[in-house]
Structure 1
Amino acid sequence: MDARRLARGEEMIVSEQESATARRTPLFELHRELGAKFVTFAGYEMPIQYQAGIMAEHLQCRSGAALFDVSHMVQIKVAGPDAALGLERLVPGNIKDLAPNRARYTLLTNDAGGILDDLIVTNAEDHLYIVANAATGAADLAHIKAELGTTCEVEALADRALLALQGPLAAQVLARLNPRVMQLRFMEGCDLKLGMIEARVSRLGYTGEDGFEISLAAEQATDLARLLLAAPEVEAAGLGARDSLRLEAGLCLYGNDIDATRTPIEADLAWTIGKRRREEGGFAGHEVILRQLREGTERKLVGVRPTGRAPARAGTEIQSVTGAPIGKVTSGGYGPSVGAPVALGYVVTNAAEIGTEIQLDVRGRSLPAEIVALPFVPHRYHR
């Protein structure tokens, strides 16, 4: 997804036909009240931006707190005594050793080592709580049910909404409703009350900032959203800002930067595979993935900084300085916090070294760029 193209209406415009068939989150009427501009995304009619615009919403998240509706994402419960070991057959992450209420970013892989989705898995003590991407969630659910359904209870939590409160002031805002949130560490969650509302609050997110994801009953989502938006530090933000924030943070978007044709090693996600899983294997595609860990890959995901002001969009050809094709941009746009265009893309491994000068074929023009370290802005998670 390219946020600025979406904002200009070049992709995913909500036609009358799409609007009639698109699903809506529990916060739809609030979004409309707040003046949201909508797009269809993963079958949902979602806010791409509000009246302030994508850049203002992006910078609000970096400086204060921004509230995102992510209720289109799929929340899954997997319960049973063998749930953790069962899920480890499907993902390379260390799930068995997750401490109570700790969360882990992991990947659902196929037998060829490709990435079917990226997930957050939490040990909620009596079950595993999984958050999957909206576009792939139904397939993820079917896959997990097919593999674990005979030994585990696997169900979508269809009656739950999901909000993301992100930014350096998110904790102080949420602590007014329950001071307990200040005690949560990064990648930790618990069940607690926010005012009178029961919720599962997890200290994590996909913006590079400190923040929280809040799972709660769908019928209470609007009440909590209004309560949070009443805080002077908080503004509503849409999918456009969410996309530009994750891009600056060097975080992959499923369907752009990672998919079933790319492996965790190619995507520079080897860090998601713990020592025990590397030694034992036993997960889908482990032969391919562990071989790539030992021997390397032919291509690698890298950060790209165009030298000028012109952004490189997804699909832009990456070339050597002599003009030879060496890869493609998978996500690209303007980074409001960076004050310049930024991009992610795959290049041949021998051109992936940080500092390598390259060029980008942007609408037939060869524009200079450089391979740079990720992220483009420092992560500010609560450690």
Structure 2
Amino acid sequence: MESMIAGDVAELKDNQGGINDDLIVTKTDHGYLYVVSNAGCADKDSANMKARMAEFKAAGHDVDLEFLEERLIDVQGKFSYGNSPSMAQVLQSGLTDDLSKLTFMTSTLATVFGIQGCRLTRCGYTGEDGVEISVPKSGVVALTEHLLANSEVKLTGLGARDSLRLEAGLCLYGNNIDETTTPVEATLLWTKGKRLRQAKGFPGAEIILPQIKAKTARKRVGLMSTGPPVRQHTPNLSPEGKVIGEVTSGCPSSCLKQNIAMGYVDAPYAKNGTPIQVEVRKKGVKAVVTKMTFMPTNYYSGQ
């Protein structure tokens, strides 16, 4: 797996995962790695894994690959009754295991509302406490119905997820990161463990390692602007109107009641507090480079 991604899998604890571009890899205590792919990248990811497995088998290594018929349900956040950890309350009623022992980015196999063989991972792309449940295909309707039986649980779509993950300063593959973006430019250097940096064996090391020592020409930053909200794929401008980058995500923040965005700017403009402009409807609108996250995250640490 480390021959295909830039994350440090070997150093993960049992049942712990880390985000590696568009993959979440969990090192389970059952002797295998559990991989959840970005749905938009599933075809190329599976082809890559099959090709690498064939190479390793040809070299005499013992490795296998299994694709599971599972579906993914996310249960995220707090609901309307105060500040209680509502996701945990809703889910705990369907679990025999103690959910409080499952902390952020850890995973376990569990029976959920009577449906066996579910993998429960405490994560999600909203900035709030939540879980992703990998459920066998045969049980996905029943599990959804069990969850919706609670009046506080509502179905929601990717539009809501997209605005929440932007408030949390989280990248979306295909928008804020892609095959042309390095982790250094995207301020995702935390994905490169010390062991991998020293070994210099991860994909893209010949580009990434020199960038760690030297400044990159551009950097991912947060933005706040006035007036109409800024949208993705519109230019970032210097105060004088020169193009200095591009917005990669943008929307009105429902929590902050302000326009927020994420994008790339030339390095001299990347310092927090720097005034720039964003282009909205062919006009320059005042904006300021802002520290992310825009909203505090509420990941569960066990406390």
TM-score by length of structure 1 reads: 0.73
Stretches of structure 2 lacking an aligned partner (at least 5 in a row): 79-85
Correspondent of 1:139 among 44, 57, 63: 44
Correspondent of 2:111 among 193, 197, 221: 193
Higher relative contact order (CA 8 A, sep 6+): 1
Matched residue, 1:361? 279
Matched residue, 1:156? 67
RMSD across aligned positions (CA): 1.2
Aligned residue pair count: 285
Question: Does residue 93 in structure 1 map to residue 4 in structure 2?
Answer: no
Q: Give per-residue Cα distances to partners, 1:5-24, cap 9 Å, x unaligned.
A: xxxxxxxxxxxxxxxxxxxx
Alpha-carbon distance in 1 for matches of 2:215, 2:207: 11
Give the secondary-structure state (helix, strand or coil) at the position aligned to 2:65.
strand
- Asked if the contact 1:314/1:330 (under 8 Å) is kept, the reply is yes
Alpha-carbon distance in 2 for matches of 1:355, 1:261: 27
Matched residue, 2:83? none
Letter in 2 for 1:121: V
Letter in 2 for 1:119: L
Correspondent of 2:17 among 58, 81, 103: 103
User: Shift in Å at residue 138 of structure 1?
Assistant: 0.9
User: Shift in Å at residue 314 of structure 1?
Assistant: 0.7
User: Shift in Å at residue 280 of structure 1?
Assistant: 1.3
User: Shift in Å at residue 195 of structure 1?
Assistant: 2.5
Alpha-carbon distance in 1 for matches of 2:181, 2:18: 21
Give the secondary-structure state (helix, strand or coil) at the position aligned to 1:156.
coil
Question: Does residue 285 in structure 1 map to residue 209 in structure 2?
Answer: no
- Asked if the contact 2:120/2:131 (under 8 Å) is kept, the reply is yes
Question: Does residue 121 in structure 1 map to residue 40 in structure 2?
Answer: no
Alpha-carbon distance in 2 for matches of 1:98, 1:262: 25
Alpha-carbon distance in 1 for matches of 2:182, 2:130: 28
User: Shift in Å at residue 212 of structure 1?
Assistant: 0.3
Give the secondary-structure state (helix, strand or coil) at the position aligned to 2:249.
strand
Alpha-carbon distance in 2 for matches of 1:363, 1:182: 48
Alpha-carbon distance in 2 for matches of 1:381, 1:347: 29
Alpha-carbon distance in 1 for matches of 2:42, 2:125: 17
Q: Give per-residue Cα distances to partners, 1:23-59, cap 9 Å, x unaligned.
A: xxxxxxxxxxxxxxxxxxxxxxxxxxxxxxxxxxxxx
Give the secondary-structure state (helix, strand or coil) at the position aligned to 2:120.
strand
Alpha-carbon distance in 1 for matches of 2:53, 2:273: 45
Stretches of structure 1 lacking an aligned partner (at least 5 in a row): 1-86, 108-117
The share of aligned pairs that are identical, in percent, is 43
Letter in 2 for 1:286: A
Give the secondary-structure state (helix, strand or coil) at the position aligned to 1:193.
strand
User: Shift in Å at residue 324 of structure 1?
Assistant: 1.2
Q: Give per-residue Cα distances to partners, 1:226-272, cap 9 Å, x unaligned.
A: 11111132111111111111111111111111111111111110111
Alpha-carbon distance in 2 for matches of 1:174, 1:122: 21
- Asked if the contact 1:101/1:190 (under 8 Å) is kept, the reply is yes
Q: How does 1:190-269 map to 2 (within 5 A)?
A: 190-198=108-116, 199-269=118-188
Give the secondary-structure state (helix, strand or coil) at the position aligned to 1:234.
coil
Give the secondary-structure state (helix, strand or coil) at the position aligned to 2:128.
coil
Q: How does 1:3-152 map to 2 (within 5 A)?
A: 87-107=1-21, 118-125=22-29, 126-149=31-54, 150=57, 151=61, 152=63
